[in-house]
A and B are shown apart, each in its own frame.
Chain A
Amino acid sequence: QVQLKESGPGLVQPSQTLSLTCTVSGLSLTSNSVSWIRQPPGKGLEWMGVIWNNGGTDYNSAIKSRLSISRDTSKSQVFLKMNSLQTEDTAMYFCVTLKLGSYFDYWGQGVMVTVSS
């Protein structure tokens, strides 16, 4: 069955860089696109960006200057890097498959990231 599992540091200091990994099983990254979505505590969902099945990327313009999404297809992993973190970046970060460029079908359990000194 399809599984996505996020991993990364739970705590990041302000102004530092966040690095997260999404390990995918049950499907191929060359046939499926993967997005990152985040959710601040008690708030709604924000789409961050996508790495398409062909390796191209698109980002939310609100955070584009700080964000990079990449992948290693041999390890079936997708990576998120975001720099210049601030307290408002504190959130649960989800990796999610994006089907046909339209809806988010398989969701990871999420990883909580707190930005604090």
Chain B
Amino acid sequence: DIQMTQTPSSMPASLGERVTISCRASQGISNYLNWYQQKPDGTIKPLIYYTSNLQSGVPSRFSGSGSGTDYSLTISSLEPEDFAMYYCQQYDGSPYTFGTGTKLELK
């Protein structure tokens, strides 16, 4: 199975701050990488697919990049609704696997 490791596991940040979350795969995944947001009430929504494509309705302050084994999610200016858990997910190999998660917290 392809292991997905996210860093940091938690990140205190302030409103308006620019933050970057990293995701590393145990082997190259050819940009087959998605990002999801999980709110404190448990609801999950997709943010980015195929490394850098924004899901419809997702604000443009979210962006994704990366290649090979290393990927990142950047939020350019934090809004109150962005404080949540974030997960990456690969679909290069079966089973689909998710990252270890990053909790974005208000500083």
A: residues with CB less than 8 A from B are 35, 44-47, 58, 60-62, 92, 94, 101-105, 107, 109-110
Task: Verify A102–B42 contact, CB threshold 8 A.
Answer: no
Interface size of B as a range: 20 to 34
Task: Verify A109–B98 contact, CB threshold 8 A.
Answer: no
Other-chain residue from A58, A101, A104 in contact with B46 (beta carbon distance below 8 A): A104
How many pairs of residues, A versus B, come closer than 8 Å at their CB atoms?
Answer: 45
Task: Verify B49–A107 contact, CB threshold 8 A.
Answer: no
Q: Does B101 contact A (CB under 8 A)?
A: yes
Nearest B residue to A110, CB-CB: B42
Other-chain residue from A46, A58, A61, A109 in contact with B42 (beta carbon distance below 8 A): A109
C-alpha spacing A94/B42, complex, angstroms: 10
B: residues with CB less than 8 A from A are 1, 32, 34, 36, 42-46, 49-50, 55, 87, 89, 91, 94-101
Task: Verify A103–B98 contact, CB threshold 8 A.
Answer: no
Task: Verify A45–B87 contact, CB threshold 8 A.
Answer: yes
Closest 10 CB pairs of A and B: A45-B98, A47-B96, A60-B95, A103-B34, A103-B49, A107-B44, A102-B91, A44-B101, A47-B95, A105-B46
Q: Supply 10 further A-B pairs (C-beta < 8 A) apart from A44-B87, A58-B94.
A: A44-B100, A45-B98, A47-B96, A47-B97, A92-B42, A102-B34, A102-B49, A103-B91, A104-B36, A104-B89
Contacts of A60 in B (CB 8 A): 95
Contacts of A45 in B (CB 8 A): 87, 89, 98
Task: Verify B95–A105 contact, CB threshold 8 A.
Answer: no
Which of B46, B55, B95, B99 is the most central at the interface, judged by chain A CB atoms within 10 Å of its CB? Answer: B95
Nearest B residue to A101, CB-CB: B91
Task: Verify A107–B43 contact, CB threshold 8 A.
Answer: yes
What are 14 residue pairs bridging A and B, where the CB atoms are less than 8 Å apart in the complex? Answer: A44-B87, A45-B87, A45-B89, A46-B98, A47-B97, A60-B95, A62-B1, A92-B42, A102-B32, A103-B46, A103-B49, A104-B34, A104-B36, A105-B55
C-alpha spacing A51/B11, complex, angstroms: 36
